[in-house]
Amino acid sequence: MQAHRDDLRSEVDTPALADQVAADWRAATLPAATRTALAYAEKLTLTPSEMGPEDVTGLRDAGFTDEDIHDVVQIASYFNYINRVADATGVPPEPEMQPWPREDGTW
């Protein structure tokens, strides 16, 4: 996540926002449509078998076009894929990357 945070910091006008998103996107100051897209991406990441037509409808209701939805799906899926490939093959993190704590608080 740290690498993604640093990439986001280089793309936004307020780098502190990237730090908020990295810490907890739900607590970050984000537009409603962005929150909808992040919730969709999180669900796709954590419980892909639970995705359904209502999830796409939620994105459309938030103002996303079919092309936008395709982009959200492709980007989230690619990051899930490449991270799993790296984890499965034992690719070490880049030396400058600090580990993030696990959900139980351990490293």
Domain boundaries, the chain: 1-29, 31-93
Identify the pLDDT of residue 3. 62
- For domain 31-93, give the fold: AhpD-like (1.20.1290)
27-69 tens-digit pLDDT: 988 999 999 999 999 999 999 999 999 999 999 999 999 999 9
pTM: 0.78
C-alpha closest to that of 69 among 52, 83, 48, 55: 55
Distance, CA of 99 to CA of 62 (rounded, Å)? 34
Distance, CA of 69 to CA of 55 (rounded, Å)? 10
Asked if pLDDT for residue 107 goes beyond 60, the answer is no
The residues near 30 (Cβ < 8 Å, ≥ 6 apart) are 17, 21, 38
84-95 tens-digit pLDDT: 998 899 888 777
In degrees rounded to 5, what are phi and psi of residue 35?
-60, -40
